[in-house]
């Protein structure tokens, strides 16, 4: 009794939407970045699960996952750079208060 | 219907095997740490022309037992403002990746925990998990010196992972496999890999000194800097776990990687007849490198954090990149023989060693001028 | 006795860990705890990859996410101080909109996903060789573009966080 493919996709969906809800609801910029990472991870899980659907490894799924890793790492670095330099300008990290380019 | 060894039900054998592996690894780590603390103190003492421990036991051999007993019986002091669960979890986060990396080290012909076909990648991955534990330890101490020490140490570890991984990858390129057992087996007889790839060996050894926080890269944990850095608030057995066990365990793992990749691992005279002799050769080679690391610790002064970082990013990483490009091109151009790679690698090593005075010539000239100016009045007064 | 029950049990445990970690990241007020539980989520994800037979991807996941991205996020958490009242968490303006959106999209997706009932095969042989061959032959050009992307990200992060040292800018002006 192996695990059906749908189970992996459901777990990936649930995790993706938890991350999505986090991005929409949380106010701290760093926590929003963390939730974006969760969403990227969920997408990776779906990619790897589908690349095994037809018996042999379809390596294109895994290659795409590697590129998603690269993009996620680059995005966290630049995103944190933006958050930290905005924090240096005005010490707030609450996204409700830094949405106006004033001050 | 699979049957486990000794006729045990495989369902019981799988977790039992895990327990045996963990216990064995813990045993090796604990005894290794005890032996290495003693060796370190004795070797530093000999180099510094003094005696070292000699009271407790013959030649002071039981000194580390006494120290361990003292550490275990110490009061568990925890500052009230430290961050709860993190303070307690940080030693575990630092210790566990090191313990988990013992499983792929090949001790003898068939004595390896798990012959992963990704053994080398597994080891580098576990090395990068230690960084998390150190950052948490620095943060949880609620002490600005500990925090700065932890972040500095994390920065150092992350930076020096890069030349480490590049050097390991160049060896994997030549051997053709990431499995530790295959790498050992690819070094037939006396033609060990260091004869073909000395330059990655030097790069990896220097990067590994930095990865394990050993001198000359031990600024984050040195006693005279930053009040012992990120371990300031840890005392007793917490300190024992994080510093002694983790660091010496890490040193052993790193020296085991060096032995396996460049010096033939468990191979040596007489191994074909008695396979268990491999364990002896492996241990001797690993401890030879550990003694070399301790020798370096007793000899070289410490680098400042900016010197350390600039050495990594402006020195080691370009050399590691050049190395990997050269090895990759030659491995592709001459797939059957290793001689061109050997020639290129020794040439690169010579360039690296000879290039240091060249790159630092301005500083050397300033130092020589200053030394001449300092001794000039003394010489004039003496003549 | 067959040992087929091991895989679904491990899958169940890992998915509970994943979802619990995700919920904790979204709902916890202590950001450092949220960051560590995010690292735990990444570790469970690596376990899922191993369960699917993608060991190389699992090791890359731990190396990149737990080893580097978690440390970056912890640096971000340590350098910023968040001043927010805890009870304001779920009473934002967007909360009803978020709930409607998530329900409207997630539920149909999950229902469709449950129709994939084919068992996930676990191909043997590991995935290192097909992955490496593919990256360096079919996908060599995107691989190089990814390197350029990383270089751009590095330069961007350094430029964004470079501190304006008054002594250094005075020196530059003088020169």
Query: Roughly how many angstroms between the first and final C-alpha of chain A, as a whole number?
Result: 61
Residues B69 and B86 in one domain: no
* Whether residue B350 sits in one domain with residue B263: yes
Residue B366 parent element (H or E)? helix B361-382
Q: Is B263 helix (H, G, I), strand (E, B) or coil?
A: coil
C22·A15 Cβ contact <8 A: yes
The CA–CA distances, whole Å, from B181 to B167, B377, C35 equal 18, 63, 37
Contacts of C24 in chain A (CB under 8 A): none
Pick out chain A residues at pLDDT < 70.
Answer: 1, 54-57, 99-103
Q: Which of C23, C120, C121 has its CB closest to that of A18?
A: C23
| Rounded CA separation C45/B58 (Å) | 52
Any domain includes B6? yes
Using alpha carbons only, give the angle B275, B276, B278 rounded to the nearest 5 degrees.
Answer: 80
The answer to whether the CB of B171 falls within 8 A of the CB of B183 is yes
Is C126's CB within 8 Å of B147's CB? no
Q: How far is CA B345 from CA B203, B266, B379, in A?
A: 12, 24, 46
Per 3-state DSSP, chain A is made up of helix, strand and coil in percentages (nearest 5) of 70, 5, 25
Q: Where are the alpha helices (DSSP H) in A26-58?
A: 29-50
pLDDT confidence tier of residue C130, bands split at 50, 70 and 90:
confident
Phi, then psi, of C119 in degrees rounded to 5:
-70, 140
**Domain encompassing residue B100:** 82-357
- Regarding whether B120 and B67 lie in a shared domain, the answer is no
Per-residue pLDDT tens over the stretch B265-312: 888 787 777 778 888 889 999 999 999 999 998 888 888 888 889 889
pLDDT of residue C169: 58
DSSP H helices in C52-94:
55-61, 70-79
Cα B51 from chain centre: 27
Work out the average pLDDT over B203-217: 87
- Cα B129 from Cα B153, distance rounded (Å): 13
Give the C-alpha separation, C42 to C62, whole Å.
Answer: 7
- Nearest-Cα distance to chain C for B122, in Å, is 7
Determine what percent of chain B is predicted with pLDDT higher than 90.
19
**Region for residue B218 given its phi and psi (left: phi exceeds 0; alpha: psi -120 to 50; beta: otherwise):** alpha
Query: For residue A94, which phi and psi values (nearest 5 degrees)?
Result: -85, 115
Q: How many CA atoms lie within 13 A of B276 on its CB side?
A: 0
> Are B39 and B60 members of one domain?
yes
Decide if pLDDT at C85 tops 70.
no
B287 lies in the same domain as B173: yes
B62 in the same domain as B88:
no
- pLDDT number for residue B196: 83
Q: How many domains does chain B have?
A: 2
The residue behind tokens 């074909």 is B272
- Regarding whether B176 and B205 lie in a shared domain, the answer is yes
Chain B residues with CB-CB distance to C62 below 8 A: 125, 128-129
pLDDT digits (tens, 9 = 90+) for C19-66: 999 999 988 888 888 999 999 999 999 999 988 888 899 999 999 999
**What per-residue confidence (pLDDT) applies to B1?**
45
Residues B39 and B174 placed together within one structural domain of the fold: no
Domain identity same for B283 and B247: yes
Q: Are residues B158 and B16 in the same domain?
A: no
Cis status, amide bond into B216, omega within 30 of 0? yes
C5, closest residue in chain B (CA to CA) = B11
Which CATH number, 1.10.287.3510, 1.10.260.40, 1.10.3720.10, 3.40.50.1240, labels domain A5-89? 1.10.287.3510
Q: How far apart, in whole angstroms, are the C-alpha atoms of residue B243 and residue B256? A: 19
Contacts of B169 in chain C (CB under 8 A): none
The CA distance from B321 to B125, in Å, is: 20
Mean pLDDT of C149-160: 92
- Is position B377 within any domain? no
Beta-bridge partner residues of A94 = A28
């Amino acid at each position: 009794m192996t695990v059906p493919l749908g189970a992996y996709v459901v777990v990936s969906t649930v995790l993706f939407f938890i991350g999505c809800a986090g991005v929409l609801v949380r106010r701290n910029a760093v926590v929003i970045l963390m939730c974006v990472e969760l969403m990227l991870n969920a997408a990776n899980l779906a990619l790897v699960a589908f690349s095994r659907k037809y018996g042999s490894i379809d390596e294109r799924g895994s290659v795409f996952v590697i590129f998603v890793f690269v993009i996620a790492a680059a995005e966290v670095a630049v995103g944190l750079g933006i958050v930290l330099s905005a924090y240096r300008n005005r010490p707030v990290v609450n996204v409700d208060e830094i949405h106006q380019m004033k001050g | 219907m699979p049957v486990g060894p000794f006729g045990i039900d495989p369902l019981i054998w799988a977790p039992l095997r895990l327990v045996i592996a963990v216990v064995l690894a813990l045993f090796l780590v604990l005894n290794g740490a005890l032996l290495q603390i003693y060796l370190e103190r004795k070797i530093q003492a000999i180099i510094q022309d003094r005696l070292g421990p000699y009271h407790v036991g013959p030649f002071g051999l039981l000194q580390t037992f006494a120290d361990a007993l003292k550490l275990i019986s110490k009061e568990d002091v925890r500052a009230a403002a430290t961050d709860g669960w993190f303070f307690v979890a940080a030693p575990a986060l630092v210790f566990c990746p090191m313990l988990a990396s013992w499983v792929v080290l090949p001790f003898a012909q068939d004595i390896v925990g798990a012959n992963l076909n990704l053994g080398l990648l597994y080891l580098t991955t576990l090395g990068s998990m230690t960084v998390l534990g150190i950052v948490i330890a620095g943060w949880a101490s609620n002490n600005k010196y500990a925090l700065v020490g932890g972040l500095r140490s994390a920065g150092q570890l992350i930076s020096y992972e890069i030349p480490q991984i590049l050097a390991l990858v160049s060896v994997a390129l030549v051997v053709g496999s990431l499995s530790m057992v295959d790498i050992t087996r690819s070094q037939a007889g006396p033609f060990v890999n260091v004869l073909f790839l000395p330059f990655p060996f030097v790069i990896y050894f220097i990067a590994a000194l930095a990865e394990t926080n050993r001198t000359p890269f031990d600024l984050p944990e040195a006693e005279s800097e930053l009040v012992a850095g990120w371990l300031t608030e840890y005392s007793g057995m917490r300190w024992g776990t994080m510093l002694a066990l983790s660091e010496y365990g890490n040193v052993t793992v790193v020296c085991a990687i060096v032995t396996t990749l460049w010096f033939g691992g468990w191979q040596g005279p007489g191994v074909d007849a008695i396979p268990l002799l491999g364990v002896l050769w492996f241990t001797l080679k690993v401890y030879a490198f550990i003694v070399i690391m301790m020798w370096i610790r007793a000899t070289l002064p410490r680098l400042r954090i900016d010197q350390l970082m600039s050495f990594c990013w402006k020195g080691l990483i370009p050399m590691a990149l050049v190395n990997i490009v050269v090895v990759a091109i030659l491995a592709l151009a001459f797939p059957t023989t290793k001689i061109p790679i050997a020639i290129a690698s020794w040439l690169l090593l010579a360039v690296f060693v000879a290039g240091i005075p060249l790159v630092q010539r301005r500083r050397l000239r300033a130092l020589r001028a200053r030394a001449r100016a300092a001794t000039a009045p003394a010489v004039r007064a003496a003549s | 006795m067959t040992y087929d029950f091991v895989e679904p049990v491990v899958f169940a445990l890992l998915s509970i860990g994943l979802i619990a970690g995700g919920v904790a990241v979204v709902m916890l007020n202590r950001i450092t705890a949220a960051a560590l539980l995010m690292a735990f989520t990444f570790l469970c994800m690596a376990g899922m990859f191993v369960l699917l037979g993608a060991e190389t991807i699992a090791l890359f996941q731990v190396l990149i996410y737990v080893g580097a991205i978690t440390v970056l996020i912890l640096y971000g958490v340590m350098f910023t101080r968040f001043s927010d009242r805890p009870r304001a968490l779920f009473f934002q303006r967007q909360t009803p909109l978020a709930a409607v959106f998530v329900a409207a999209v997630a539920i149909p997706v999950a229902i469709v996903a449950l129709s994939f009932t084919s068992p996930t095969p676990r191909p043997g042989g590991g995935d290192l060789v097909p992955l490496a061959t593919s990256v360096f032959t079919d996908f060599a050009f995107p691989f190089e573009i990814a390197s350029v992307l990383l270089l751009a990200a590095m330069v961007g992060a350094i430029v964004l966080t470079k501190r304006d040292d008054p002594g250094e800018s005075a020196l530059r002006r003088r020169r």
